[in-house]
Amino acid sequence: MARQKERGGRVHGPYPYRRQWRIVVVDEDGQRLHRYFEREEEAKQVVRSLRREFRKKAAKPLKEALVEYELHMRDDLRNKLGSVKTTAARLTQFFKDFDGSVEDLDEAECARRYEALRFHLTPRGTRIADDTQLNTLAQVKTFLGWCVKMKLAKVNPAANVEGKGRHRHGKPQLRIDEARKWLTVAVRMATTAESEREREGAVKAMMTLGMGLRESEVLRREVRDVDDGGCLLWVPDTKTEAGRRTQEVPDFLRPFLLAQAKGREATEPLFRYRTRGVGRKWVKRICKKAGVMVVGAQSMRGLHATLAVDAGITSHAVAAALGHQSFTTTARSYAKAEAVTAAKQRRTTRVLSGRPEVAKGSGVRPLEHGKLHNFLHNFSGSERDVMKGGSGK
């Protein structure tokens, strides 16, 4: 909060003055008023009362603080515009109909609003998901912590409000045989579909599995991002600093990305159809055509991580491929726990048996016969099926 002399009046004293007690009241315009009291306790009571009144007048309305916080996220933190809008919308919903200042909030009010959020019904008539309400509470705590830092409040009133429910980590994933069926259908669709929208949809869906890309990372790609003859894909703009990376393109995906880029300007979008949610839609559509369990784009990222970990790729390399700051996120929400455990067991066995790791820069490919390499880089069986007109089912 700004200093009182900048945002409102202030009061000084009490001071002994002859046989009385004097206080000095300074209004918002800087005008001074001297008041005198017979007893010191009476003067102190007036001082406390005036200071409460001045603090109330000087306190910033919560709605103004929300606007300033949104600008802080956008201009200072440089968060993605979509993330800023989502956070701002959740905070606005949480503090809906609250007309007071930040200082008027207390723990009881924050707890009451959190309980109301937990039982809030979506437009479909269902309770809000645990993930959503827990994330909203975390964003509320971060916002009010910022208010304390900016001196808009003395304490964070939501700091001790406990979240209820559990985060849902990880999504159902296809089995390897199911993923092969899915990928066979996707390759055929990208190769033979008459509609450009359908061909693009299949390629975008395959990038979530073959490269572990987020849907937003797929949709934002430009022609120039397909580099080194289609061997590399640049991902310079993403939701996190760790997400900025260069990905190796699997063999089966290269001809499709090169076809997308052929004959077009370097700064043109790689894909013409970039509506949000299009990646999820095509992943699910291909699942139905392949006759496998219907999953989303995030599940394909998770399967990519599971295959990579199971193949023995180091944890930091898997995290980097998915654009995660650390492997903790990858292990908690993407790679299957059994794959992580199995990889640890294999490393332990290798050490105990005295078998050395493959040295870096030796030219030897340690994953030449691993599941990830066979699945993503030697996807020849399904490609042959496509060329022969196989069903893939």
Virtual torsion, Cα 84, 86, 87, 89, nearest 10 deg: 120
* Cα–Cα dist 2/60, whole Å: 9
Q: How many CB atoms lie within 10 A of CB 332?
A: 14
What average pLDDT score do residues 61-66 get? 92
Residue 334 tokens, joined = 């993407």
| pLDDT tens digits, 133-175 | 999 999 999 999 999 998 888 899 999 999 988 766 557 777 8
Q: Give the residue among 213, 196, 181, 200 at the shortest CA–CA distance from 256.
A: 200
Is residue 378 scored above 70 in pLDDT? no
| Domain ranges, ordered by start, for the chain | 4-58, 62-149, 176-387
How far is Cα 77 from Cα 72, in angstroms, rounded to an integer? 6
pLDDT tens for each residue of 87-133: 999 999 999 999 888 888 999 999 999 999 988 877 778 888 888 89
Lowest average pLDDT, out of 46-60, 233-247, 322-336, goes to 322-336
CA 320 to each of CA 123, 158, 364: distance values in angstroms, whole numbers, following the listed order: 37, 34, 21
Q: Looking at domain 176-387, what is its CATH homologous superfamily? A: Intergrase catalytic core (1.10.443.10)
User: What does the pLDDT read at residue 362?
Assistant: 35
> What is the pTM assigned to this prediction?
0.53
Helix ranges (H only) for the chain are: 4-7, 40-58, 62-71, 81-94, 107-118, 130-149, 176-192, 196-210, 215-219, 254-261, 278-290, 297-310, 315-322, 327-333, 337-353, 371-372, 380-387
Is pLDDT above 50 for 359? Answer: no
Mean pLDDT value of segment 215-241:
84
Structure tokens at 332: 């908690």
Question: Which is nearest to 226 in space by CA: 246, 251, 244?
Answer: 246
